[in-house]
């Protein structure tokens, strides 16, 4: 019953039948007197036209009978009642209701309610019964994890289709045990999933808990993996609330689901107030973090967005994306290097930015470890160039995007980022510009990060290379990192080092094993994990703040403030001058001495010549268990 024309014809026939039956019911279902019969027939066209318009107005033809609901019944009741009133008033003005028994106007809406609502109800019941009685082989046998709103919505949609056959739900809430949702039984706790998969010959497990934390998802996925059954998941909670949930939204469980954290709720009004109507410059704006920053900023009502980057292709890509995302925003994509003082000065003079996000940096530890001059030139002197330009041109705020590797650095890359932090702290002491630093760890999916590397290694059939069995890292998603950077820019007063709450560190071996499992393989059998040893400059475990930096909570739970002692601005300026001279002479020995003096907590790499051998020994011991 999906044809709108068929439904309209049906309803008009029911209107005529209800009117005629009301007339016959008035005379105890015998032939009415001739004058009443004629008056009733003459009024019938008026009744049909008025009632048809009212039914259309109440949206009776926008839905499908198969999905008829209480809302449709309520619309029918209102349509029948209002129709009776409008018919009575119209006939009164036409012929003063001559020959029309008044009781017909009471009986008519009752019969109309039965004739319009009854077929819809029986069709819905018949369709649901047909779905419940269909042969098991006609659909994919599904077990749903989660009996909350997500599971209920998913089960309801499955019952409306023919492709999936939901046989049960599992949920850890004891109060739901032995309950039924749309006729589907809740079969027990999630721990019973492997047993239920085997007992009911389940073809697919669907995780329908959009609000699950990463720890909950890890546990559920591990249980699903022991059941040796394919599994999928629903999107995030905001998509459920917005009505996007459905079988089309089912997707593979991603590594973000296991390692990502609960979505943050930001003070967008504060962020927008800080950025709206202003000119914003993002250096390194075509990189992973910089590009996501630009996407977020483009939605916040800025007057102009300038993207500064040295990668021509990446700049071309983000330019096209931003112009599609915000066609009315004034966007300037500038090709240039933050180490080029003339180019930086020119972009500041042209764009006149009020807010600057400095994301341009070399970030790959092994590469910078082998090329100290390039790392210092870009990460330290490039930052100093942008800092001076921001101060000279009277910018309101500059935000430096730093890294956890700047904390007690063991790598040259970490040292350069620590000196960049010192540069911003020193500049904040003698400038009207607010200089703010935001420090966080690894970002899932960023260019050169471990997740894309593991994905490519899995696609090639392995092996996956991990530096050390015990190595761990902090992770967060690109959008979350970018949004918290924006929040820090709005909340900072100047001189702060904000530390993003990265949650608990993740063991890299665990990350590799989960990615192998999510790709449908078995770790150690289908895809091997090879331990290569810590590379020069790498730590076994990362840190987010120094021992002398007491973390202070802020108004936002995900944003912490690293309390730190003030720096000697004159010393920092002298250090930068010496580093600039040493880079000009390509004197890497002097550069190394200068940075060791400037950052006394700098430790040599935890990697040692024997670390690779040690890792291989551990790998051998694991493989022989």
- Are residues 606 and 537 in contact, defined by beta-carbon separation less than 8 angstroms? no
Which CATH number goes with the domain that contains 166? 3.40.50.720
Give the pLDDT score at 180: 80
For residue 32, the enclosing domain spans 4-132
Tell me which of 253, 286, 301 is where a domain ends. 253
Please name the helix (run of DSSP H) or strand (run of DSSP E) that holds residue 429, with its range, or none: helix 412-429
Along the chain (625 residues), what's the average pLDDT of each consecutive run of 10 residues? Answer: 69 86 83 81 85 78 54 78 86 82 85 82 64 53 84 79 81 81 84 87 83 76 81 59 46 57 63 87 90 89 93 93 90 94 95 94 87 94 95 93 84 91 91 89 62 77 81 73 82 83 74 74 79 70 60 69 77 93 92 89 55 39 36
Sheet with 164-170: strands ordered across = 164-170, 140-145, 204-207, 231-233
Give the pLDDT score at 253: 56
Give the pLDDT score at 574: 93
What is the 3-state secondary structure of 268-317?
A: HHHHHHHHCCCEEEEECCCCHHHHHHHHHHHCCCCCEEEEEECCHHHHHH
260, 278, 340, 383 from 420: Cα distances, Å? 28, 26, 17, 6
Q: Give the contacts of 513 (CB within 8 A, at least 6 positions apart).
A: 523, 529
Give the strand pairing for 506-507 and 472-473: antiparallel
Report d(CA 176, CA 145) in Å as an integer.
13
Same domain, yes or no: 230 and 318? no
Same domain, yes or no: 193 and 298? no
Same domain, yes or no: 522 and 583? yes
Same domain, yes or no: 448 and 299? yes
Same domain, yes or no: 161 and 101? no
Give the pLDDT score at 133: 46
Give the pLDDT score at 400: 94
Give the pLDDT score at 124: 65
405 catalytically annotated: yes
Give the pLDDT score at 606: 46
Residue 185's region, left for phi above 0, alpha for psi from -120 to 50, else beta, is beta
Residue 446 lies in a domain: yes
Residue 262 lies in a domain: no
Give the pLDDT score at 463: 84
What is the sign of the dihedral through the CA atoms of 123, 129, 133 and 135? positive
In the chain, how many domains are there?
Answer: 3
Residues in the chain: 625
Residue 263 lies in a domain: no
Report d(CA 464, CA 529) in Å as an integer.
5
Short-list 478, 422, 421, 426, CA closest to 448: 478
pTM over 0.95: no
11, 18, 80, 194 from 90: Cα distances, Å? 21, 18, 15, 67
- Are residues 516 and 523 in contact, defined by beta-carbon separation less than 8 angstroms? yes
To 10 degrees, the CA torsion angle through 191, 197, 198, 201? Answer: 170
Same domain, yes or no: 144 and 115? no
∠ Cα 557 561 563 (to 5°): 150
Tell me the two tokens of residue 40: 């009733």
Please, which residues bridge with residue 523 across strands?
A: 527
Residue 329 lies in a domain: yes
Short-list 150, 151, 80, CA closest to 112: 80
Q: Of 127, 405, 417, 539, which one is the catalytic site residue?
A: 405
- Residue 244, CA atoms < 13 Å, CB-side half-sphere: 10
Residue 604 lies in a domain: no
Same domain, yes or no: 537 and 570? yes
Give the pLDDT score at 619: 41
Q: Give the contacts of 248 (CB within 8 A, at least 6 positions apart).
A: none
Residue 267 lies in a domain: no
48, 53, 247, 422 from 84: Cα distances, Å? 11, 13, 42, 80
Residue 612 lies in a domain: no
Tell me which of 97, 132, 167 is where a domain ends. 132
Same domain, yes or no: 140 and 120? no
Same domain, yes or no: 181 and 194? yes
Same domain, yes or no: 545 and 594? yes
Report d(CA 433, CA 399) in Å as an integer.
10
Short-list 447, 354, 350, 341, CA closest to 388: 341
Sheet with 304-309: strands ordered across = 330-335, 304-309, 279-283, 355-358, 397-403, 434-440, 497-500, 559-562, 551-553
Short-list 445, 468, 459, 421, CA closest to 576: 421
Residue 605 lies in a domain: no
Same domain, yes or no: 154 and 91? no
Same domain, yes or no: 385 and 241? no
- Are residues 620 and 418 in contact, defined by beta-carbon separation less than 8 angstroms? no
């Amino acid at each position: 019953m999906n044809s709108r024309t068929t439904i309209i014809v049906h309803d008009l026939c029911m209107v005529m039948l209800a009117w005629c039956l009301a007339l016959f019911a008035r005379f105890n279902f015998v032939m009415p007197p001739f004058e009443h019969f004629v008056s009733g027939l003459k009024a019938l066209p008026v009744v049909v036209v008025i009632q048809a318009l009212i039914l259309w107005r109440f949206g009776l033809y926008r839905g499908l009978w198969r999905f008829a609901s209480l809302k449709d019944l309520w619309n029918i009741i209102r349509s029948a009642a209002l129709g009776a009133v409008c018919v009575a008033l119209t006939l009164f003005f036409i012929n003063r209701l001559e020959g029309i028994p008044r009781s017909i106007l009471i009986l008519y809406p009752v019969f109309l309610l039965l004739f319009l609502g009854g077929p819809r109800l029986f069709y819905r019941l018949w369709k649901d019964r047909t779905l419940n009685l269909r042969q098991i082989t006609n659909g994919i046998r599904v077990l749903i994890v989660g009996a909350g709103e997500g599971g209920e919505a998913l089960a309801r949609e499955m019952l409306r289709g023919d492709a999936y056959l939901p046989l049960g739900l599992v949920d850890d809430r004891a109060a739901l045990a032995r309950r039924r949702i749309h006729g589907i039984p809740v079969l027990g706790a999630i721990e019973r999933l492997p047993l239920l998969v085997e007992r009911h010959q389940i073809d697919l497990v669907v995780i329908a808990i959009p609000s699950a934390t990463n720890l909950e998802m890890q546990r559920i996925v591990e249980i699903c993996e022991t059941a040796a059954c394919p599994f999928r998941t629903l999107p995030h909670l905001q998509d459920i609330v917005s009505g996007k949930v459905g079988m089309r939204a089912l997707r593979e469980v991603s590594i973000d689901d296991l390692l990502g954290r609960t979505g943050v709720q930001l003070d967008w009004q504060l962020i927008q107030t800080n950025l709206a109507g202003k000119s914003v410059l993002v250096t390194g704006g075509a990189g992973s973090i910089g590009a996501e920053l630009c996407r977020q900023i483009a939605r916040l009502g800025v007057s102009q967005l300038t993207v500064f980057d040295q990668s021509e292709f990446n700049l071309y890509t983000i330019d096209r994306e931003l112009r599609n995302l915000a066609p009315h925003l004034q966007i300037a994509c500038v090709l240039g290097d933050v180490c080029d003082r003339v180019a930086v000065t020119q972009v500041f003079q042209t764009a006149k930015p009020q807010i600057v996000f400095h994301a341009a940096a070399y970030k790959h530890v092994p590469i910078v470890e082998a090329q100290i001059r390039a790392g210092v030139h870009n990460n330290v002197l490039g930052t100093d160039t942008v800092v001076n330009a921001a101060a000279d041109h009277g910018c309101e705020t500059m935000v430096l995007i730093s890294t956890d590797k700047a904390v007690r650095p063991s790598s040259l890359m970490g040292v350069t980022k620590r000196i960049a932090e010192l540069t911003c702290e020193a500049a904040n002491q003698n400038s009207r510009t607010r200089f703010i630093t935001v420090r966080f760890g690894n970002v899932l999916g960023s260019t050169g990060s471990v997740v894309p590397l593991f994905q490519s290694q899995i696609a090639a059939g392995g092996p996956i290379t991990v530096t050390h069995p015990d190595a761990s890292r902090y992770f967060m998603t690109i959008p979350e990192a970018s949004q918290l950077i924006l929040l820090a820019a709005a909340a900072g007063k100047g001189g702060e080092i904000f530390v993003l709450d990265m949650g608990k560190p993740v063991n890299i071996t665990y990350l590799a094993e989960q990615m192998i499992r999510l790709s449908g393989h078995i770790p150690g059998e289908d895809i091997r994990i090879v331990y290569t040893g810590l590379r020069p400059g790498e730590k076994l475990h990362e840190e987010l703040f120094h021992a002398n930096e007491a973390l202070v909570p802020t108004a936002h739970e995900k944003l912490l403030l690293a309390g730190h002692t003030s720096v000697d601005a004159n010393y920092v300026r002298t250090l930068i001058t010496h580093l600039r001279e040493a880079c000009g002479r390509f004197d890497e020995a002097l550069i190394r001495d200068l940075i060791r003096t400037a950052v006394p907590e700098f430790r040599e790499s935890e990697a040692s010549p024997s670390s690779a051998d040690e890792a291989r020994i551990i790998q051998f011991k694991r493989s022989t268990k």
